[in-house]
Amino acid sequence: MTQQRDENYLTTAEVARRLNVKPETIYAYVSRGQLTSVRARGQRSSLFAAADVERLASRSVEHTGVVERIETELSLLQDDELYYRGRPARELATTSTVESVAHLLWTGELAEQDPFPAPPAQVELASAAMAVAPPTARMTDQLRIAVAVLGAGDPLRFDLAPESVVAAASRLLGVLVDALPGETTQGTLGTRLWPKLTTQASHPKPASLDAVLILLADHGLAVSTIAARVAASARANLYSVVSAGLGALDGHYHGAATTLAYKFLDRALQDPVEALSDQLRSGEPVPGFGHRIYQQRDPRAEALFELLANEPVEATVRELIDKVPAFPNSDLAIAAMMHAYGFRPDAGEALFAIARIIGWTAHALEEYAEPGLRFRTAGIYTGPPVD
């Protein structure tokens, strides 16, 4: 069949642009009967009815764009501010405990909460699991192992009722922190985590850790959060949901950002200009600056820098901020805190992971209320034709 070229028909290149796929994919659509091609009169090229292309485009959005349409009541990133259920996260970081903010994200209610429980038998189990890791393992490696073992040891892990999930998450956070190597103390999660991250005994400031955990608890649909929600959509239990999030967090595009900022700041503390010069010469972005979502400032960084006022590291940070044509982000603020308080080099990633367990739990609770397996994306075959 031949067809006069008009506005009702599109060329292969136009279809590829409209569907955001390669031209080879268009031919795959034709072979599967999803599109019908016609020949332009007097030409060898193929044309496609615009109406058919639009129908296919709408189906593609339906199958592959579901992640963009996730509805969530948890966090909002708007006008360079972060909100948890309508409340400014930076305000919560200085007025509430981690436990209270976790309860807010999980249930919608902000109220005083008891410390997360840590049953001794489960702490012992998690500690034994962490001890299996080699000496070179990072804290996040230990956390991943412990989460898997704790899940295997919980016979009621498949109880997905909201109150059961909240109880399991509270217990998981308490157990993980207490099981980490180091002194075990009582109090808020930040108080309990402080001796696990540093041997600096003088002038502890666990409230700063509470603030970090609150500010990192959730951040919209980050890649690890999507991974957690996909697992929850399959009705994976909480431990498996957290494991999915930890797996995505381990990628160098996501969870490693604080470590990169820590190492850069370590060099900058010796010579800020030289460290910045070497970084610029490498052609790589300066760690700890800029953000893909925030436009002018990172509210989490601003809140944390306020807590770091008068620390010696602040002078170097200010010099870097004056010289880098981008705003500092939370990774730089956490790196500065790590240097100020003598945290271990892998503490930033561990803080990120522990905090984000709060957010992943909240997203799992939302996802458990949705239809199951709603993330079944349709793949587009681009391999060789079938004989």
Both ends of the chain: CA-CA distance in Å?
Answer: 25
The torsion angles phi and psi of 328, rounded to 5 degrees, stand at: -75, 145
Domain membership of residue 304 (yes or no) is: yes
Is 343 among the domain residues? yes
Both 59 and 185 in one domain: the answer is no
State if pTM tops 0.75: yes
Q: Is residue 244 part of a domain?
A: yes
**Are 92 and 213 within one domain?**
yes
| Residue 3, pLDDT above cutoff 50 | no
Q: By C-alpha distance, which of 350, 37, 52, 345 is closest to 213?
A: 350
In-domain check, residue 12: yes
CATH of the domain at 133: 1.10.580.10
- In angstroms, the CA 381 to CA 28 distance is 7
Q: Is residue 258 part of a domain?
A: yes
Same domain, 255 and 181: yes
Number of domains in the chain: 2
Find the range with the poorest average confidence among 304-308, 351-355, 366-370, 382-386: 382-386
Same domain, 225 and 298: yes
259 found inside a domain: yes
Last residue of a domain, one of 34, 64, 94: 64
CATH number of the domain to which 48 belongs: 1.10.1660.10
Residues 272, 344 within the same domain: yes
Q: Do 48 and 86 belong to one domain?
A: no
Q: Indicate the helix (H) or strand (E) that contains 272.
A: helix 272-282
| Per-residue pLDDT reduced to its tens digit, 207-263 | 999 999 999 999 999 999 999 999 999 999 999 999 999 999 998 777 789 999 999
Do residues 294 and 313 both lie within one domain? yes
Q: For residue 29, give its domain range.
A: 2-64
pLDDT for position 63: 41
53 and 148 share a domain? no
Starting at the earlier edge strand, list the strands of the sheet with 37-40: 2-3, 37-40, 46-49, 9-11
For the segment 291-340, what is each residue's pLDDT rounded down to a tens digit? 989 999 999 999 999 999 889 999 999 999 999 999 999 999 999 999 99
Q: Does one domain contain both 30 and 50?
A: yes
6/14: higher pLDDT = 14
pLDDT at 67: 39
- The verdict on 25 and 151 lying in the same domain is no
**Domain final residue pick, 16, 43, 64:** 64
Is residue 379 located within the same domain as residue 266? yes
* Final residue belonging to a domain, choices 28, 45, 64: 64
pLDDT tens per residue, range 102-151: 999 999 999 999 999 999 999 999 999 999 999 999 999 999 999 999 99
**Whether residue 104 sits in one domain with residue 9:** no
**H helices present in 115-256, as ranges:** 120-131, 139-152, 162-179, 189-197, 206-216, 223-233, 238-249
Average pLDDT over the chain reads: 90
Sequence letter at residue 113: Q
In a domain, 69, yes or no: no
pLDDT score for 42: 62
Q: Do the domain assignments include residue 118?
A: yes
